[in-house]
Chains A and B, each alone.
Chain A
Amino acid sequence: MIGGLFIYNHKGEVLISRVYRDDIGRNAVDAFRVNVIHARQQVRSPVTNIARTSFFHVKRSNIWLAAVTKQNVNAAMVFEFLYKMCDVMTAYFGKISEENIKNNFVLIYELLDEILDFGYPQNSETGALKTFITQQGIKSQHQTKEEQSQITSQVTGQIGWRREGIKYRRNELFLDVLESVNLLMSPQGQVLSAHVSGRVVMKSYLSGMPECKFGMNDKIVIDKQGKGGATDDSGKSELGGSGKQSIAIDDCTFHQCVRLSKFDSERSISFIPPDGEYELMRYRTTKDIILPFRVIPLVREVGRTKLEVKVVIKSNFKPSLLAQKIEVRIPTPLNTSGVQVICMKGKAKYKASENAIVWKIKRMAGMKESQISAEIELLPTNDKKKWARPPISMNFEVPFAPSGLKVRYLKVFEPKLNYSDHDVIKWVRYIGRSGIYETRC
């Protein structure tokens, strides 16, 4: 169980320190600073063991969050908690920055008291927390006893994430499918490894206690239906990519509101959603990924002092769709002394501080091709080490899901109030982003 939680700024000064258990001493704060933040080499591992004490840390911009324990805890649980905590803080005061943390330290301590009890994580649902931890000062004088007990019963009740009696004039929901596609490709164009990790984020503004049912083109479900004879593919794909009907999901996790028993037995995703924004599910696929871009590198060494690089990128999706924020990063050798770049589209620049040529294109339609060529001058060195040729990496954003996931339906039932599924306005959006998208050269 978590023994304590510390938040540091980039200099290693402690902003928040909350100790939950006696086995964590005061010196633990310094131990982490000395051994991780101020360490000589960059500490890569998120888990560090110092004097039989484990430190789990995550970094958000310049802020370090570290959970400390002396026990043998479930590391995944601790990290999940740290991420959750980041979410909660973001939901309360926006970006996690030194200034925000300093301005809200009372609130943070209050939150820490609530979401972690003697080191055991508790309810960390923002919606629920916001009902009783508010930023508007002390309200309890005005709160009636009834209201207070209502909060208590709701927070401790079966559906802790949603309070009763929510009412909207317009029942609306937004569904975002956010994916990041990761790739490592050989210079010859062979895929060495590729996977997509995705999230389904929902923003719901629904009245009452609606029962929702979510359907997507999960292979298992589709196959089962196909066997049953009911070939109901009304939601034909209007999105980019291939015409494949179903996708194989390697693994997925759900928000706590999803009834897992039902998912296990029928593979149907049904739930009563929290109010506001939350992450409905997370998943990962590795098969049949649509790679939005293909990078074709060509590197030629001309003598000891010159290097010629040519990179072609090809967009590989429907011409009607537009990719955005495209950025190709071509690493340069460490002894580069000068660079000339020519590109047909977008802007390219040699960034000495990052040892790379960065090529940016604002927009690019599908099934197009673009090219950059660069001449790199090298300074002869007395080091015989050969340049390791790091891979060319790429960033982009495309308006479809590279995994091929499609939302088939999201049905809303609210028997107590008189609105039906048809009255709810639903929005679906797909965004595919690059994760680590690299091609060796």
Chain B
Amino acid sequence: MPAVSKGDGMRGLAVFISDIRNCKSKEAEIKRINKELANIRSKFKGDKALDGYSKKKYVCKLLFIFLLGHDIDFGHMEAVNLLSSNKYTEKQIGYLFISVLVNSNSELIRLINNGIKNDLASRNPTFMCLALHCIANVGSREMAEAFAGEIPRILVAGDTMDSVKQSAALCLLRLHKASPDVVLMGEWTSRVVHLLNDQHMGVVTAAISLITCLSQKNPDEFKSCVPLAVSRLSRIVSSASTDLQDYTYYFVPAPWLSCKLLRLLQCYPPPEDGAVKGRLVECLETILNKAQEPPKSKKVQHSNAKNAILFEAISLIIHYDSEPNLLVRACNQLGQFLQHRETNLRYLALESMCTLASSEFSHEAVKTHIETVINALKTERDVSVRQRAADLLYAMCDRSNAKQIVAEMLSYLETADYSIREEMVLKVAILAEKYAVDYSWYVDTILNLIRIAGDYVSEEVWYRVIQIVINRDDVQGYAAKTVFEALQAPACHENMVKVGGYILGEFGNLIAGDPRSSPLVQFNLLHSKFHLCSVPSRALLLSAYIKFINLFPETKPTIQEVLRSDSQIRNSDVELQQRAVEYLKLSSIASTDVLATVLEEMPPFPERESSILAKLKKKKGPGAVSVSDLEEAKGEGGALNGSGDRGADAAATSNSATLSPSADLLGLRSAAPVAPGTGSLLVDVFPEAGPASAPAVSEDGFLRHLDLPPESSDSLLVEAPGESDFEDPALPLPESDDLLYKFVCKNNGVLFENQLLQIGTKSEYRQNLGRMYLFFGNKTSVQFSNFTTSITCPGDLQTQLNMQTKPVEPLVDGGAQVQQVLNIECLSDFSDAPLLNIMFRYGGAQQNLTLKLPVTINKFFQPTEMSSQDFFQRWKQLSLPQQEAQKIFKANHSMDTDVIKTKLLGLGPALLEDVDPNPENFVCAGVIQTKGQQIGCLLRLEPNAQAQMFRLTLRSSKDTVSVHLCHLLAEQF
């Protein structure tokens, strides 16, 4: 870079800046700036040409004023002129002004691009660099479009200077990040890879950033970079600290480059070529060895640089997950860091160990550090490090150490930070469930959990306890005993009361033999907590009471008394009041047999993904799932889940039977396809289940199972993916015909609804044209992907109806609604309905749905008013037998005159009053408009109130229309 000569000092600028700095108030500053702007304007007026120096000076002043926060609306032209100067400083200021001030939609962009092109074409490396920097700094789409072809050429050209190559690589990286679609891959990509062999370390560093970014997009194209990167890395690693001269940082050779190389390698699987792999392993070993060496310097920079490489190397080792030797060594290295003075190192060590713990090779090695980690959890001062320690404990837990870890986590929970308590609670709950050897331990743990951190125990946790207790016969008695004891504490958490209420309601009989926990004692204990609880818990307790009546008839009078009290039966809360009233009636009216059936013990819950795990996943976001995924891969099916038959069931309902069934209670794999038919009854805490699906809490299911046994619940669930595979997509749903009839007399409404999707429609017709709006509402909280809809006209309909629409957006967010507009033209009369096919991915499952669109011939009715005389004249004209269609049918709906009138009006034709001699009868007339012809229609509906029958007569100029309309209409009454 040429040194700035003395004459370029720009005194005027310095004076101006110092003036502004000396201003005492904002007003004074604004005055000074206004004065300067006026001065510059008078200079730029164009009366006389300015020399480069003053142009530069004034542009600089403008830039300074802009950076102070004032608007600048002139001087751009002068800045662009500076680009064509031959002096470095003038060009530099010109580029500076442009990168700061010129926005992409400026008219000047063409001139600027021209200036940049000239500089790129020049042989002067400094000018080329300036131009490249400007492109990168602006980074707009226009820039990308203009130069995306040019820059790769400069990058790979043999005669380009090193510094320019460096700039070009970084510039291209910036453009690729800003507008990836503009930077096209070409033959230059392979040559970019060879930049890794460049002599100049700067070029390699710049190129590797570019390659890493590009290879994440299309890894295959850059596969060849792996051996090059390995050899480069090995050269750096094996070099002595003095070899690399300028690129040695505190005795560490090229630390940034090494880190970047290691990171690039993490984009690819382990190299297949044995030689390359051997070399790489050697490198990694060297890095691990170096970490053991005594530090060459006491400076913190030295150790930072060294550790940075080490941690990247460890991530690479973890990424490969195939070298047991290296994994164990890495683990030991990290173990040393666990007690390091530096907080950041401890944090990083814990974090890396978390991933190491999930590798089968190093899991045992990680476990050896359990004491240190527990110690860290207890004594660490930094909360984020404690959080990592908790994560690591969670990750390293298996059946052998579960008891210890869960106990430690529980005891830590009492003092834990508020920010991580909820997550800790979930983790404890999951570990307890996953590695439970015996259920009494599990129940104890969870109850302890509720006792210690009741506020942080989410609904999911206690639902899960209840699911497990209900599903496992052997633990029920113990659970009842334990909750009974827990409830005896003077102050217990509301969640404890809920669990207690539920379990005693179900299994109180198991401990009723003991006089200390006789039915009345149990009831009184529960009822003593009643008044301290919120409404949902009270509702649950009421249900528990009615269950008590069934379990222990002797408590009936006491409980009825409670239910009858004003505070229950006249409770201001509707839910409580209703429960009290209904339970009271139920208990007093129903016989014991009925009661016993109604209040039978809850059936076992169908096995599904642990709701807690789902919650944890949701909480931690997608990034954290991988950890649990890895865990899953280890096949560490816990004892609790090992119950074979159930696991198999779950696997069968899901589509992923390929994997071992043992882990399916916590089954991540079954998460996506929700088993159909079990729908609304389940404890529905999954994000997938929409708001309209079963009201989640199990206390509702408590009683509901009697009228809706899970097997027979024929909820309108979406077809499971398994079924839809066999289904012809063109076949509409069986109920879609009914749906169609619903819309004969009306234009707006809900066309279809299930647990995932709601389809609303709204339509309007004029003559032979119509427009229909379809609204697709996502009822779940999860995004639908690949959402596509298509309209088909089966058979003849193609020639009869013309439908046009635009595709909808492929993504429908949870709770969002998309709209689609259909334009319909009726070419000639028709009788079929067009089909609407909807396909989308929900979770992992492909959903496919076909419906009939409510487009019927009567939509194109134009009402015609006519007198009685006219009507009968035309009626007689249409007297050919095929022109008439008649149907006599029984009334399905009310025969109320008004209702019928509304329906007839909704149908389309004009309802003619005082035409028929019999006032009971309804007479209508209308014209059906199609593109080709107009079809006159006359209608006569004769109700017979005594027989609850109708006679419908239709006459039209076209026989098919008469028949079809008659058919359609008959369904309406």
Contact = CB atoms under 8 A, between A and B. Distances in A.
A252 interface: no
B841 interface: no
B322 interface: no
Given A355-B34, A381-B73, A338 B45 contact: yes
A139 B35 CA distance: 54
A379 B35 contact: no
B293 interface: no
Interface in A69-91: none
Given A379-B74, A381-B74, A382-B76, A353 B34 contact: yes
Given A62-B25, A354-B34, A382-B108, A335 B73 contact: yes
A337 B73 contact: no
A99 interface: no
A24 B26 CA distance: 29
Binding site of B, secondary structure by majority: helix, strand, loop or mixed?
Answer: helix
B591 interface: no
A354 B30 CA distance: 9
Given A337-B41, A337-B42, A352 B106 contact: no
B32 interface: yes
B286 interface: no
B37 to A, nearest CB: 8
A337 B76 CA distance: 16
Given A335-B73, A382-B73, A352 B34 contact: yes
Interface string B40-61: 0110110000000000000000
Contact of A382 (B32, B69, B74): B74
A336 B45 CA distance: 10
Interface string A370-385: 0000000101111101
B24 A354 contact: no
A10 interface: yes
Contacts of B69: 40
Contacts of B76: 382
Nearest to B31: A353
Nearest to B107: A382
B351 to A, nearest CB: 38
Contacts of B25: 10, 62
A149 interface: no
Name the residue among B24, B25, B37, B39 with the largest chain A CB count within 10 angstroms.
B37
Contacts of B37: 334, 352
B44 A379 contact: yes
A27 interface: no
Contacts of A10: 24-25
B45 A379 contact: yes
A418 interface: no
Nearest to B102: A382
Contacts of B535: none
Interface string B97-117: 000000000111000000000
A380 B76 CA distance: 11
A31 to B, nearest CB: 19
B70 to A, nearest CB: 10
B594 interface: no
Contacts of B42: 337-338
Binding site of A, secondary structure by majority: helix, strand, loop or mixed?
Answer: loop
Nearest to B44: A379
B38 interface: yes
A383 B44 CA distance: 16
A352 B106 CA distance: 28
Given A10-B24, A42-B26, A62-B24, A337 B44 contact: yes
Task: Indicate the size class of the contact surface on chain B.
Answer: 20 to 34
Given A337-B45, A382-B108, A352 B73 contact: no
A383 B108 CA distance: 12
Interface string B76-94: 1000000000000000000
Interface residues of A, number: 20
B35 A353 contact: yes
Interface string B627-656: 000000000000000000000000000000
Name the residue among B24, B32, B41, B45 with the largest chain A CB count within 10 angstroms.
B41
A345 to B, nearest CB: 26
B468 to A, nearest CB: 50
A352 B107 contact: no
B47 to A, nearest CB: 9
Nearest to B77: A382
A348 to B, nearest CB: 16
Nearest to A38: B26
B915 to A, nearest CB: 67
B69 to A, nearest CB: 8
B233 to A, nearest CB: 49
Contacts of A62: 24-25
A78 B24 CA distance: 28
A336 B74 contact: no
Contacts of A335: 41, 73-74
B239 to A, nearest CB: 52
Nearest to A338: B42
A354 B45 contact: no
Name the residue among B26, B38, B39, B44 with the largest chain A CB count within 10 angstroms.
B38
Given A335-B74, A379-B45, A382-B74, A352 B108 contact: no
Contacts of A377: 45
Contacts of A353: 31-32, 34-35, 38
A97 to B, nearest CB: 13
Interface in B15-40: 24-26, 31-32, 34-35, 37-39
Contacts of B32: 353
A34 to B, nearest CB: 15
B954 to A, nearest CB: 66
Nearest to B41: A337
A38 to B, nearest CB: 10
Interface string A295-338: 00000000000000000000000000000000000000011111
A352 B45 contact: no
Contacts of A382: 73-74, 76, 106-108
Contacts of A337: 38, 41-42, 44-45
B66 to A, nearest CB: 13
A383 B39 contact: no
Contacts of B38: 336-337, 352-353, 355
Interface string B119-149: 0000000000000000000000000000000
A42 B26 CA distance: 8
B423 to A, nearest CB: 32
A209 B840 CA distance: 97
A337 B108 CA distance: 22
Nearest to A384: B73
B112 to A, nearest CB: 13
Contacts of B31: 353-354
A381 B44 CA distance: 11
Interface in A331-361: 334-338, 352-355
Contacts of A383: 73
Contacts of B73: 334-335, 381-383, 385
Contact of A379 (B26, B41, B106, B107): B41
Contacts of A381: 73-74
Name the residue among A379, A382, A383 with the largest chain B CB count within 10 angstroms.
A379
B39 A352 contact: yes
Contacts of B26: 42
Nearest to A40: B69
Name the residue among A10, A352, A354 with the largest chain B CB count within 10 angstroms.
A352
10 contacts: A62-B25, A335-B74, A337-B42, A337-B44, A337-B45, A352-B35, A352-B37, A353-B32, A377-B45, A383-B73
For the complex of A and B, list the 10 residue pairs with the smallest distance between their C-beta atoms, beginning with the closest: A352-B38, A383-B73, A353-B31, A353-B35, A337-B41, A381-B73, A337-B45, A381-B74, A352-B35, A379-B41
Interface of A: 10, 40, 42, 62, 334-338, 352-355, 377, 379-383, 385
Given A379-B45, A385-B73, 6 more contacts: A42-B26, A334-B37, A354-B34, A382-B74, A382-B107, A383-B73
